[in-house]
A = this chain, B = another copy of it.
């Protein structure tokens, strides 16, 4: 006893009008006489008719769904963006197909292809390593692609970010202003544009402005995990660092706790400043000072931008830069 689906045709028959008319009332097309509309609406209600979005998608070539590629939902930084994305997507009647990529190039390409096969109307990409292959896929896509909280050195795609260079420079400067000379730069893979082309650049700029020479012994390239941060203490000590700029909150929490566990007190003996201002900064003790970013908004604005692109509205600025700030909590003096 498979449930019988009622189609637009059934409604048309019952209301003694054509499918076209039913389609019109369903889609809010104004060219329908009120009386007719009412009649159709009643039948729709009586039959509990629900339009089939797949058929609709095939006929109209619009699916009202967008693909979202995220490194890992489990990472609060990204899930915060995702939340912003989903909220405005819903606001504009879109749905989100969400897939985790682990920032794995091969997986990203594959996912991108299945998203395109599913005829998504647009794509939001998060991940900081836009390979040539990926770029090529973006280009081939008929659906617009916007990067959220993710940079591509070649700036070929629309994107929403903050000014990482300036933000990091400012954060590092604050550390310098507190008297630190040996400041560690702790972040993820240098293959990622955000680390290599932005954060590190900001770091170097701050050093240079203060007349401190750059020393790559102070640069720590690691995983974005709590554990990785936690086990960094010996290396940090060996390098003689007295402060650290960290590129991810979870990683920073690890660094800080590792330090604390080793008897180093933060911020007295060692200052830590992190990058993403997620909830985590408030959970740990001491609370972590951080660059602040409008996480939710980055996602929201990216999605909003995407809706414009999908509608072929013309947008004045393809790469939007949102404001950042610096929040002093207790992991810095």
Contact = CB atoms under 8 A, between A and B. Distances in A.
Interface of A: 2-3, 5, 50-55, 57-58, 63, 65, 72-74, 76, 79-80, 82-83, 86-87, 90, 95-100, 113-119, 140, 142, 226, 250, 253, 257, 260, 279-280, 282-285
Contacts of A2: 142
A64 to B, nearest CB: 9
Given A53-B119, A54-B63, A87 B73 contact: no
A140 B48 CA distance: 11
Contact of A99 (B72, B76, B96): B96
Nearest to A119: B54
B80 A90 contact: no
A223 to B, nearest CB: 14
A50 B96 contact: no
Given A74-B79, A250-B279, A50 B100 contact: no
A96 B95 contact: no
Given A53-B117, A63-B54, A283-B257, A100 B86 contact: yes
A80 B280 CA distance: 16
A284 B282 contact: no
A119 B7 CA distance: 13
A88 to B, nearest CB: 12
A119 B279 CA distance: 36
Kindly name the residue among A2, A80, A118 whose own CB sees the greatest number of chain B CB atoms within 10 A.
A118
Given A50-B117, A51-B117, 11 more contacts: A54-B58, A54-B118, A58-B58, A73-B73, A74-B76, A86-B98, A86-B99, A87-B100, A95-B115, A250-B283, A284-B284
